[in-house]
Amino acid sequence: MKISKQALREARELFRTCQVNGLLDESRVRQALALLSEKKPRGYMEILGRLHRLVKLDLERRMVKVESATPLPPDMQNDVAGQIKKKYGNGMNISFTQNPALIGGLRIQAGSDLYDGSVKTRLEKLEESFENA
């Protein structure tokens, strides 16, 4: 589906008005959606679709998944969360999960960035180096 340039501009403008201090405000998004569905300007379905995509991308960008082989103690979780907030800013949604396949270390997925310090990955790289030698 082709979206008009005007609809793209309006969706971006609407998205910007939904942000407070660089973070998306859920209540503003709801208000914008209510206002948009009430007034139904020309091309409002295109605007809604584009706004939905922008919100989805912003939420994905702010998702952080921290994997470890064993449960991290609360003080270490706080340290890791602090380092993530220091690098990416506030407003990050951080989740801690276990993945015994990692053997040890951490694997952090922050938006599209991946930091893999797991033992599993190091062993795989070591294995590849022996195969290529």
Please write the tens of the pLDDT for every residue from 7-42: 899 999 999 999 998 889 999 999 999 999 999 888
Identify the three-state secondary structure at position 127: helix
Continuous H helices in 1-133: 5-17, 26-39, 44-61, 74-88, 119-132
pTM of the model: 0.77
Amino acid at 118: S
pLDDT (tens digit per residue) in 76-94: 999 999 999 999 988 899 9
Q: Is 43 within 8 Å of 4 (Cβ atoms)?
A: yes
Beta bridge partners of 68: 98, 106
Ordered by start, the domain boundaries in the chain are: 5-60, 63-132
